[in-house]
Amino acid sequence: MPISEALAPDETGPGIFDLTERRVIVTGASRGLGRQLARGLAAFGASVACVARDQAALDETVALIEAQGGKASAYVADLGDPDAVTSLIERVAIDMGGIDVLLNNAGVDHDSPIEETSLETWEKVIEVNNRSVFLMIQAASPYLRASGGYGKVINIASILGTVAMRDNSAYVMSKHAAIGLTKSIALEWGRRGVQVNALCPGFLVTDMTIHSVSDEASSKWITSRTPMGRWGQPSDYVGAAVFLASRASDFMTGQTLYIDGGWTAQ
């Protein structure tokens, strides 16, 4: 049978990106990239559980999604606390009737040479960037595997999970670990109907990077080394997130998708 005949009509049309009735969790959704991704996924029809620590900021995200006609709800949780994560996942699953997509976006950075990086800073970076991801995936696993072959995990890593920068050791290590975790779980769940992939941003404008954006020398250094000659914007990542959350990526797992203006091509 020709391949064209084996494909259902909707598998070759725009409906392949439709997220209607999909139940999605986005962590770190109170600001920056997480807020933009939550809005973008909701715009394609997903019901989005927005997770962070700041209730007021989460309410703003939900209000923005609802204003554009989307569905969203806010959940305040400490993602470093195993009991809090278990409770969060259970509440979301009850409220939404299940979980189809988990987007782990919550993260922190630091800027210090190794000799000046305190153990407290090091442990904080690992707790937020790795421990929380492990806890969320582990707690959500039964729901993702029960989602009828639609389960998706999207881990927001970084180009610094592949390359490195000085004075950023804890963050660089945490993002390398995030990519390793993505590949490992993808192998475990390959036959269980759950795809696990990483989305790796380059340098983008968020609250976390505003100090570098505002510093003329730092900003010039970054843009001069980015082949596309500019900083990324949170909106630049929505298309990739929709792809990874949708049926369009059903045969893709254990991969890292770089949205970096060409940085890692060098």
Whole-number pLDDT of residue 210: 74
Return the closest-CA partner of residue 51 out of 122, 113, 160, 136.
136
Percent of the chain at pLDDT > 90 equals: 87
Per-residue pLDDT tens digits for 79-112: 999 999 999 999 999 999 999 999 999 999 988 9
pLDDT at 208 over 80: no
What would the CATH number be for the domain defined by 8-206+236-256?
A: 3.40.50.720
Distance CA 241, CA 29 (A): 14
Return the closest-CA partner of residue 70 out of 78, 81, 60, 62.
62
pLDDT at 10 over 90: no
Per-residue pLDDT tens digits for 19-56: 999 999 999 999 999 999 999 999 999 999 999 999 99
- Higher per-residue pLDDT: 4 or 16: 16
The domain spans of the chain are: 8-206+236-256
Say how far residue 163 (Cα) sits from the centre of its chain: 19
> Quick check: is 150 catalytic?
no
pLDDT at 235 over 80: yes
Contact between residue 159 and residue 264 where contact means Cβ atoms under 8 Å apart:
yes
Report the 3 state secondary structure along the chain: CCHHHHCCHHHCCHHHHCCCCCEEEEECCCCHHHHHHHHHHHHCCCEEEEEECCHHHHHHHHHHHHHCCCEEEEEECCCCCHHHHHHHHHHHHHHHCCCCEEEECCCCCCCCCHHHCCHHHHHHHHHHHHHHHHHHHHHHHHHHHCCCCCEEEEEECCHHHCCCCCCCHHHHHHHHHHHHHHHHHHHHHCCCCEEEEEEEECCECCCCCHHHHHCHHHHHHHHHHCCCCCCECHHHHHHHHHHHHCHHHCCCCCCEEEECCCHHHC
Contact between residue 144 and residue 243 where contact means Cβ atoms under 8 Å apart:
no
Pair of tokens at residue 241 = 């997130």
Whole-number pLDDT of residue 2: 52
Contact between residue 58 and residue 25 where contact means Cβ atoms under 8 Å apart:
no
The pair phi, psi for residue 232, each rounded to 5°, is: -75, 155
The arithmetic mean of pLDDT across residues 137-156, rounded, is 96
Contact between residue 99 and residue 93 where contact means Cβ atoms under 8 Å apart:
yes
Select which of 150, 171, 237, 258 is catalytic.
171
Q: How many other CB atoms sit within 10 Å of the CB of residue 123?
A: 13
Q: What is the pTM of this model?
A: 0.93
